[in-house]
Chains A and B, each alone.
Chain A
Amino acid sequence: MSAITADLPPSYLTHEFTLRSWLLSTDHKRIALLFFASITFFFFVGGFAATLIRLHLINPSTHLLQPDTYNRMFTMHGIVMVWFFLIPSIPTTLGNFLIPLMLGARDLAFPRLNLGSWYLFNVSGLLAIYFLVAGGVDTGWTFYTPFSTLFSNGHVIAAAVAVFVNGFSSIATGLNFVVTIHRLRAPGLTWFRLPLFVWAIYATSVIMLLATPVLAMTLALVAVERWLGVGVFDPSLGGDPLLFQHMFWFYSHPAVYIMILPAMGVVSELVTCFARRPVFGYSGMTYAMIAIAVIGFFVWGHHMFVAGISTFSAIVFSLMSFVVAVPSAIKVFNWTATLHRGSISFEAPMLYALGFIGLFTIGGLTGLMLATLDIDIHVTDTYFVIAHFHYIMVGGTVSAFFGGLHFWWPKITGRLYSEACARGAAILTFLGFNLTFFPQFILGYLGMPRRSYTYPPDFQVWNVLSSAGASILAVAYLMPLFYFAWSAFRGERAGPNPWRATGLEWRTSSPPPERNFERTPVVTCPPYQYDPVDGSYVAQDGVANA
């Protein structure tokens, strides 16, 4: 640690070096790094499962995995990636680090609760590792009843408890953000002067708070049913398995917006900074995010079009799913309009952001296809669905996460990374991602079911392409580990504001001091006062070209 910080000024990284000062820290910046370590670990656990799946699917006749092992692998991939990486990814790391800085605050409203959230996350992580080591779960990440409660051979109770505890971590983090954004804004920082990243985290937190408890209760009922052998979803008692699907998707569809809204916030910051233009339609962007958060609660039934819901409710859910696409499209148009007549430069974070816009658009448009009732019936539970949501979650969220990480890395560590390596990784991510998942659209349209152990030989060429793309993607995701590690030790000093950006987080030193600001900043400007003609800017506290 001391090697990393030897030539840096006093900061949150250097004021104490003991292990205790990290593990018991209530500093939001240190907790962000603790979360970063935890979720990176789980990213590679989930990635390992994905690697085995893609290796297995290269050949339809020589089987790498036993059928039962294969089921456990895709379940592990889903559970770990959804709850232990994607949902906490941007909020707990970049959100934790940046929200107080962007608000001009010293810390979150409840610093000890923040630390508690990390411990809860790790307790749930240990439970997850327990059920994986003990033999895994074979239900798929969706835990559909009655298979999960009455027939599955896996460790369903341990998995349900892991996700249940994980939910408390989510709730604690969301609660902290909501209260902080309400109560701890710097003088002059009105709601409509907040950076869009703050708005995005706010909308995300509201969904976390209102959706997660429903998942907790649903999984509690599943665990009880599995434990006792009788339960409310048990059809032999007259219980209703469809009720489980309703309750599960009431959480799990909004969970998609928990994953994508923070990504939208990150991309908004990156696009405006590297186009040197104010965000087009700032207030429209904020309303769009709130609209997504609200409407997102009323579309869950589109996961159940073939499950036996009535035609009338299917039509309503289909309509609502089209409606939620409107604010999403507004955001895409606004990012594009921000680029128009901008003075664009292609640094690594911007490459990730532009990749995000393209991939998110494809994911969103195929989402409209799936919201259409008759197309959905044709492609339900095929690779078309898999490709669609990976375009949103991996092409969208993970790209934005990496983009944000590159953008704020100089702020977090005080050092720059190799721009050439980073651009290479960003381009490889985009290429590898498309090669992995575009063939899956075709596979799904041709009829290959998801979670399938094998497939007809005709499909092999697309599966080989997909697996080849996955290997490129793996390289692209591993590269930052190396150049970031190099940067942490040897990187050039970044200075407080290497990107010449306008947010308050850039108005303190890099890395920030323990208490964030020398004195509380006073906000006099809206965000994103960039000038595309000469590239100049005015920071939110009114200082020009600082």
Chain B
Amino acid sequence: MQYASLAQQGETAQLGMWVFIATEVLFFGALLFAYFICRLSYPEQFALAGRDSKILLGAINTVILLTSSLTMIAAIELVKRGRRHAERLLLLTALLGVCFLGVKGYEYVQDFQDATVPALNFLLKPGYHPPAEIFWIFYFVATGFHAVHLTIGIAILLIMAEMTRRGRFSPGYYAPVETLGLYWSLVDAIWLLLFAAIYPLGRAAS
């Protein structure tokens, strides 16, 4: 039967997002699987290449994204309780997302200056062998797809903030914000996995 109540509709939306998250786990899971298989074949080369990745920038971004999850959850709580100005926390979350993209862009520029961008200006330094380039292909594909997800999240955050400002949500109906929160946590969790795989594990000696 179709929705008898807003609560049932909200729970259904959440279930839909959980199922979507399962597909995303497989999407990024396939990439991480391929990454670890290749890392297993060329541990020294991956460690060499991984040490050229910018771990400080990666760590800053991890802090930014974790903070944004905190503001996201706080925003949901405010909307749930019907407080005014909940949209400000949503906008703050979006701003932190933009900061992440800014840092990431700066990191890409640094990567370019280090001549580690495959096909564009990749340079094999002394002691490096071709498999090192494979590390960087994974790096750009993984962070690129993550950035696309984050950008979509920021766009939806802005829409939700505007809807909140117009009073479209209430303690009885806030399912879209809560569902967005799930998506934002997914983007956050994927980053944690990518961060661990690329920066600390990337530079670990075999």
Contact = CB atoms under 8 A, between A and B. Distances in A.
A232 B12 contact: no
Interface stretch (A216-224, A287-295, A455-463, A489-497): A216-224
B30 A213 contact: yes
A175 B23 contact: yes
A210 interface: yes
B38 A178 contact: no
B38 A229 contact: no
B61 to A, nearest CB: 22
A82 B20 CA distance: 23
Contacts of A187: 1
A231 interface: yes
A175 B118 contact: no
Interface string B112-135: 000000110010000001110110
A53 interface: no
A186 interface: yes
Contact of B23 (A107, A183, A213, A228): A213
A236 interface: yes
B196 to A, nearest CB: 19
Interface residues of B, number: 37
Main secondary structure of the interface of A (DSSP, over half): helix
A175 B134 contact: no
Interface stretch (A68-76, A237-245, A409-417, A423-431): A237-245
B24 A183 contact: no
B159 interface: no
Among the interface residues B12, B16, B24, B133, which one has the most CB atoms of the partner chain A within 10 A?
B16
Interface string B96-123: 0000000000000000000000110010
Contact of B119 (A104, A221, A230, A240): A230
Contact of B2 (A105, A178, A210, A212): A105
Among the interface residues B20, B38, B137, which one has the most CB atoms of the partner chain A within 10 A?
B137
B169 interface: no
A250 B38 CA distance: 17
Contacts of B2: 105-107, 184
Given A184-B1, A212-B23, A247 B34 contact: yes
Interface in A243-286: 243, 247, 250
A20 interface: no
B56 interface: no
B133 A237 contact: yes
A240 B37 contact: yes
Contact of A240 (B8, B24, B38): B38
Contact of A230 (B28, B37, B137): B137
A209 interface: yes
A213 B31 CA distance: 10
Main secondary structure of the interface of B (DSSP, over half): helix
Interface string B1-24: 110000010011001100110111
Contacts of A247: 30, 33-34
B39 to A, nearest CB: 11
A83 B160 CA distance: 35
Contacts of A212: 23
Contacts of A105: 1-2
A370 interface: no
A24 interface: no
A238 B30 contact: no
B138 A232 contact: yes
Contacts of B22: 209-210
Interface string A179-217: 100111111000000000000000000000111111011
A184 B2 CA distance: 6
B90 to A, nearest CB: 23
Contacts of B1: 104-106, 184-187, 520
Nearest to B135: A232
Interface size class of A (residues with CB under 8 A): 35 or more
Nearest to A250: B30
Given A178-B19, A228-B119, A238 B137 contact: no
A359 interface: no
A238 B42 contact: yes
B52 to A, nearest CB: 17
A110 interface: yes
A209 B22 CA distance: 8
A45 B156 CA distance: 38
Contact of A214 (B12, B26, B131, B138): B26
A109 interface: yes
Contact of A213 (B24, B118, B137): B24
Given A214-B30, A217-B27, A230-B133, A238 B12 contact: no
A171 interface: yes
Interface string A79-107: 00000000000000000000000001111
Contacts of A239: 38, 131, 134
A229 B12 CA distance: 44
Contact of A210 (B11, B23, B133): B23
Contacts of B141: 220-221, 224
Nearest to A175: B19
Contact of A243 (B19, B38, B42, B45): B38
A184 B131 CA distance: 51
A110 B176 CA distance: 13
Contacts of A238: 41-42, 45, 129-131, 134
Contacts of A171: 20, 23
B5 to A, nearest CB: 12
Given A107-B2, A221-B141, A183 B15 contact: yes
A431 to B, nearest CB: 42
Given A182-B15, A236-B130, 10 more contacts: A106-B1, A113-B16, A209-B26, A210-B22, A210-B23, A213-B26, A214-B27, A216-B27, A237-B130, A238-B41
Closest 10 CB pairs of A and B: A228-B119, A213-B27, A238-B131, A217-B30, A213-B26, A106-B2, A214-B30, A237-B130, A520-B1, A183-B12
28 contacts: A104-B1, A106-B1, A175-B19, A182-B15, A185-B1, A187-B1, A209-B19, A209-B22, A209-B23, A211-B26, A213-B23, A213-B26, A213-B30, A214-B30, A217-B27, A217-B30, A217-B31, A220-B145, A224-B141, A229-B119, A230-B118, A232-B137, A237-B133, A238-B42, A238-B130, A239-B134, A240-B41, A247-B33
